[in-house]
Structure 1
Amino acid sequence: MWKVMNVNQIENEPSVKLFEGERALIITGLIGFLLSAGISIFIFFNDPIIAPEGNMRDAFSFNAAIGMFILSIAAILPLSRFGARKRKVVRWLFIFASIYSYTIETLQNFRGINPRFSREGTVVDIAAGMLFGVISLALVALTIVLMVHFLRMKQPHGRPFLIMGIRYAFLSVLAANSAGIWMIVLLDRLTGGAGNLIVLHGVGFHALQTLILPAWLLEKAQIHEKFKKILIHTGSIAWMLMVLVLGIQTALGQTVFEITILPIIALLFFLIWFGTVCVACRLLVKKRRKITVTAKVLE
């Protein structure tokens, strides 16, 4: 019993847990991965291009991205301090928007129709694409509402380091939403000679995983709180600067995958972020070893 009490004191389990009470959102996120898995099997046996406009590779990546995004929302929503009613409204708005997005993206590509900017579809297809755009804008608005809410949350926070990572993540998502609106205005994902807005869009949204992960790791590490904050700020700012540089490269109409000055600078910022994640992982492993040693001593 003495051993258990000491180990629990070291662990300091947080009072609010990730994903707590968000079963419906978790299932919705997993649907995206199941759809992507099914599409990958289809692509393995068939040509991913379906005339005249369909591309199953787009459906594969889109469903996986939405699934990951919804799982990320499910993880952080319990930390929002929303009341039961407001949290329920937010939850079901995300679920409705996701289900429609899964459906229109998958079915239209299977039919050979561009789900967003069709030039070959019927009036119904065009209307469905317009509704897709409206729902995308609604998701942008809903994400901004969440961002503002997390930025305005007052201390004390139950999990302050995680909240810090979430705030940075939403700022990156704001940049991703800007790229999404840019695509809607252009009615295309390509800009200039080789710029691809979908890359900027995706990198910005992945901050919901890349910036929250090190914060989650660091809150468990046994180091000075000031050092934890420095690592979170350093990694998050590096990620934000990477997104900014990629945005400039895309705005210039150039691919972010060429070996020129801006992509190289973006890569350096990425390596800085990755370095903070490695440090966080090492600190967590060191803590786990210390717990194991403590437990053995107390046996």
Structure 2
Amino acid sequence: MLKFIKSYLNANEPSVKLFEGERKLVITGLFGVILSLGIASFIYFQGHLILPEGNMKDVFSFNAAIGIYILSIAAILPLARFGDRKRKVIRWLFISATLYSYAIETVQNFRGINPRFSSAGTNIDMVAGMLFGIVSLVLVALAIVLTIHFLRMKSPHERPLLLLGVRYAFTSVTVASIAGIWMILLQDRLTGDAGNIIVLHGIGFHALQTLILLAWFLEKTQAKWHYKKILLHSGSIAWILMILFIGIQTALGRSVFELTIIPILGSCLLFVWLGTVIMAVVLVIKQSRNDYSSPIDQPSFTE
């Protein structure tokens, strides 16, 4: 079955390929993932706490998250149609900001210092933490630039379903970026009695995988164009609404994991998104088994 699926997905290869020309970004993202695996080994043998403030679990989750984020950016950047110069500037801003983030998060926690909001560090540590905040704002600014650019792109586009998925994904990323600024202003990730902004921040950024993956599967099927758009819109809107519910619950200072109406509604929306992904995967598998030979229905995206 896997052989059939692989042969089909490689067929009718679009002219604009994911990750094309972004080897340096891919390496930067993979470095974060590999670094997080090394941190996981350290935690297994040495534990996660390093006095007075270090927490290696934070290092593991941060490096893994930003590594996956950069891999996602590397995947979609070829779709943006940037000129060579602008694309190079954006690429190196991402790489520079990411490498500093890896370094400050890892080194400071190994020293037992909170890299963002330290109360035990020296003046140099405070300056490094302030610079970390500035670098975080650079990453937020880059996300906003990409969001505006993708929303303003006009048809025709070689991969309209994927472009639509990217637009939805960056809507979620915008909410996640606002959550990041919220943490910077608050100088903490906790709010109210049990609210944790980092949950909103992290899940919001994962739209760059969840929604783009849905669009990618759908563009590989020969289902009717209208049906594919309905599935993509349904799954993406469900995801965005889930993010908004998480944001409301967090703003109320309450945990998103408690069994109350807002988290329950958010969970239902998550299952709606998951259902659309499962349907898209089933379509791909069914199509590979039947060995369809007709070209993929892929009209240009229009508003």
Q: Which residue of 1 aligns with 2:114?
A: 114
Counting aligned pairs with the same residue, the percent is 66
Contact 1:108/1:115 (CA < 8 Å) preserved in 2?
Answer: yes
Change (3 A) 1:10 1:127: closer
| Distance of 1:179 and 1:9 partners within structure 2 | 37
Shift of 1:293: 9.3
Contact 1:10/1:291 (CA < 8 Å) preserved in 2?
Answer: no
Q: Which residue of 2 aligns with 1:221?
A: 221
| Distance of 1:41 and 1:167 partners within structure 2 | 37
Deviations 1:221-273 (A, max 9, x none): 01110111111100000000000001111111111111111110000000000
Q: Which residue of 2 aligns with 1:4?
A: none
Q: Which residue of 1 aligns with 2:157?
A: 157
Q: Tell me whether 1:261 sits opposite 2:281 in the alignment.
A: no
Change (3 A) 1:274 1:241: same
Change (3 A) 1:11 1:134: same
| Distance of 1:231 and 1:219 partners within structure 2 | 11
| Amino acid of the structure 1 residue aligned with 2:92 | W
Change (3 A) 1:262 1:15: same
Q: Which residue of 2 aligns with 1:3?
A: none
Q: Tell me whether 1:80 sits opposite 2:80 in the alignment.
A: yes
| Amino acid of the structure 1 residue aligned with 2:175 | A
Shift of 1:9: 12
Please give the secondary structure, in 2, of the residue aligned with 1:161.
helix
Matches for 1:1-299 after TM superposition, within 5 Å: 11-291=11-291
- Number of aligned residue pairs: give it: 288
Contact 1:11/1:220 (CA < 8 Å) preserved in 2?
Answer: no
Please give the secondary structure, in 2, of the residue aligned with 1:188.
coil
| Distance of 2:37 and 2:242 partners within structure 1 | 30
Shift of 1:292: 7.6
| Distance of 2:283 and 2:71 partners within structure 1 | 26
Shift of 1:34: 1.1
Contact 2:8/2:288 (CA < 8 Å) preserved in 1?
Answer: no
Deviations 1:66-114 (A, max 9, x none): 0000000000001110011111111010000000000000000000000
Shift of 1:11: 3.2
Contact 1:54/1:111 (CA < 8 Å) preserved in 2?
Answer: yes
Range with bigger deviation, 7-16 or 86-95:
7-16
Change (3 A) 1:44 1:8: closer
Change (3 A) 1:8 1:262: closer
| Amino acid of the structure 2 residue aligned with 1:18 | L
| Distance of 1:8 and 1:34 partners within structure 2 | 31
| Distance of 1:292 and 1:213 partners within structure 2 | 22
| Distance of 1:109 and 1:292 partners within structure 2 | 53
Q: Which residue of 1 aligns with 2:301?
A: none
| Distance of 1:16 and 1:196 partners within structure 2 | 39
Change (3 A) 1:10 1:81: closer
Q: TM-score, normalised by structure 1?
A: 0.94
Unaligned runs of 5+ in 2: 1-6, 295-303
| Distance of 1:241 and 1:60 partners within structure 2 | 29
Contact 2:9/2:220 (CA < 8 Å) preserved in 1?
Answer: no
| Distance of 1:181 and 1:33 partners within structure 2 | 24
